[in-house]
Amino acid sequence: MTICPHCGFENIEGVDECAECRHSLADTEEHVPATEVERALMHDQIAVLASRPAITVPPETPIRDVLRLLVEKEIGCVVITRDGKLAGIFSERDALMKLNVQADELGDEPVSRFMTPDPQALSYNHKVAFAVQRMDQGSFRHVPIVTDDQTVTAIISARDIMHYLTEKMRQGGAEL
């Protein structure tokens, strides 16, 4: 049996492309997951992560209010939306790197001045492995989840991935 890494369909051994989604299976046959973590990473979609609803603010929000929001909600980043669509992201990392010792003086400035505009986004049906790779390549710790029309629905973080991996390791019998 060859499981399609793209859609998860169980194909009969030896076929060249997935009978369900036509994704090429040429390279996948030898990759038999050995552990629960590997299996999960290959097949699970982002929807299984315990993502949180994104906290969104408009671009003109004063940075002082955004800092308070990050602390009060115990979150690592806020998503900036314009008319409900993804416009940018501002993280505690940005606070340290861009506000730094001037945080007090810059308090009235709009968040749009310091946000990372047009961040990479993913959708719920992307694979967890894909999200991990994107975070690694881009050195992000947060990725907004959007619908087809760029409406932000949630945010996933490196922490969500760590939670997920811990759960999968336990399911696989690892004592941690």
- The binding site for other proteins (CB under 8 A) comprises 5-7, 19-23, 27-28, 30-31, 33-35, 37-38, 41-42, 64, 67-68, 70-71, 76, 92-93, 95-97, 99-101, 103-104, 107, 123, 125-127, 129-130, 132-133, 135-136, 139, 141, 158-159, 161-163, 165-166, 169, 174-176
> Closest approach of Cβ 135 to other proteins, in Å?
5
Strands 56-57 and 10-11 turn out to be: unpaired
User: 10 Å Cβ neighbour count for 6?
Assistant: 16
The H-assigned helical ranges of the chain are 36-43, 63-72, 92-94, 128-138, 158-171
> Closest approach of Cβ 74 to other proteins, in Å?
9
Which one, 13 or 83, has the nearer CB to other proteins? 13
Which one, 55 or 132, has the nearer CB to other proteins? 132
Which one, 109 or 130, has the nearer CB to other proteins? 130
Structure tokens at 149: 């029309």
> Closest approach of Cβ 96 to other proteins, in Å?
4
> Closest approach of Cβ 13 to other proteins, in Å?
17
Of 166, 170, 140, give the one whose Cα is nearest residue 155.
140
Strands 77-82 and 56-57 turn out to be: parallel
Structure tokens at 96: 């340290």
Which one, 83 or 175, has the nearer CB to other proteins? 175
Which one, 83 or 156, has the nearer CB to other proteins? 156
Of 122, 65, 72, give the one whose Cα is nearest residue 95.
65
Q: Under a CB-based contact definition with an 8 Å cutoff, are residues 89 and 96 in contact?
A: no
> Closest approach of Cβ 54 to other proteins, in Å?
18
Q: Under a CB-based contact definition with an 8 Å cutoff, are residues 19 and 8 in contact?
A: no
